[in-house]
Structure 1
Amino acid sequence: MDSEWLEAVSTALLGDWADMLGAPPPGDSGTLHHLRREARAVHRQLMPLWQRKSGRGRVWMLDYRLPSGEALHELVAGSYDDEELTWYPDRGDASAVFARLSEDEQHVARAFACAGGSWAEAAATTGLPTQVGERVMRKLRRLGLQHHKRQAALASTA
C-alpha cells in the first residue's frame, strides 16, 4: 500500500464507521463496505487535481512543459487576443446561434467578426487549420436558418 492510500485509510478509520458496528442501518451492505467507500472518497479528495481524470482526459497544470519546451500557459496565453475573447454578438438571435458553437468555433467566429477578412484567415488567426474557417461559416449559416425557422414556427403558432 502506498503512502497516499495509507493516509486515506487512516483518515477513513477516524470517521464514524465504528458507530455502525452496534446497529447497522437497514439495507446496509456492511461496515467494511462503508469503510472502503469512505477510504476511496478520501483518497480521491487527497489526490492532486493534475493527477485526476476529467472526462476522457487529464487536468493539466499550466506550468506543464510540452515536448517543444514551451509551457502550457505560454501556449494558451499567446493564442488569442483579450479583445477577441470578450466579444459576443449584440443581437439576441445571433447570440442564440453563437452559443451553439463549440469553443474553437466561437474563437474563429470572433476572429472573423473582429478582424474581417476571410473565414480561412480567421481560422489561421486562432491557430486552427484554414478548413475549419469554412466549416464554421457553413455551420453558422445552417444554425442561423434553423433558428429563423424555429422563430417563424413559434410566431405562427402564437
Structure 2
Amino acid sequence: MSDNVSSPKARNGEPREIRCTRDARELHAQGVYAEVEVTGPARYAVDRLEWNGYNPYVVVAEGYGYDFTGDHPGPPAITAAMRATRCELRVRPLLLEDVSDMASGRNFLDDFNQRHLMVPGGPQWREAASTALAESWSVALDPGMSIEEVYTRIVRNDVRTVHRQLVPLWRHKASSARVLQLEAPLGGSGLTLLDVVAGELRTDDLVFEAGFDDPRIGAVLARLTVEERRVTMAWAHPYTDSWTEAARFAGATDPEALGERVRRKLKRLGIEYARRRAPAGDEER
C-alpha cells in the first residue's frame, strides 16, 4: 500500500484505501495478513473486519484501517456486496461496467445471493439481502479463515434470518406439515378451518363436559335452550371477543341476532335470580 504513513486518523482506525492491487490480493489470499509498503514490504496482522452498511475495511494490529475500493479488487464476495449495495441505493456505481449492467436490468443482489451466499434469488431473498447488507457490524478475524470466508459466513446467516422473518407464518411448516390460516377453506364444504376448530371447542368440550361449582351459573344455564347454552359457553371462551362471534362459533344461521338475544336473556335471568335470592328486607328497600 503506497503512501501509507502513520497518522492520528490511521491510528484511530479510520479507513485508508488499499492502493495497491497486489496488496488487496495479499489480503484475500492470506486471510489475516496485509502486506504494506512503507519503507519496504512489511506484513501486518489484521485484527478485525468491519462493515458499515456501505463499504468494508480491515483494521490491523497497529491501529491502521484500510478500505476496499472498487478501483482495486478485494475478496470477490465483498466486491459483489459493494456493487449490489451501490446499485440498490442508486449511488455512484462501483465499477464503470456496472452502469451498462444496471441499464440492462441486471440484478446485483441476485448475483450476490446466488454466486457468493449460495441462496436462491427472487424478490424475498433480494429484500433479505438488502436488509442484511444495510446492517453495520465488526468482527474479530479467525486466524484459520480468510476474509472472504468470514464475510460470507456472517452475511449468509443474516440473510437467512431476515428471510425467515419475511416469510408469512402460514407458509412455515411444523413437523413437515404446512401451517394453515384459520380462514383457509376446507374443500368444497363452504367451511373454514376456524369453523371446524372453533365449533368442536365450544359445542363439545365447553358445553357438554363442563361442570360448575357455583350454583348461580347452573341455575341460569338451566333456563336456556341447548342452542342458547352453546352460545353462552362459546362467549365464555377467551378466544371469543363478542356475542356475535360466540353465536357464529355455536353454529347460528343469524349470529348477530342470536348473540344479542342470548345476551339480553342472560342479563334478565341474572337480575331475576338476584332478586329471588335477596332477603325480603332488601327487596322492600
TM-score (norm 2): 0.27
Of the two, which has the highest radius of gyration? 2
Compare the two structures and name the one with the higher helix fraction.
Answer: 1
Compare the two structures and name the one with the higher strand fraction.
Answer: 2
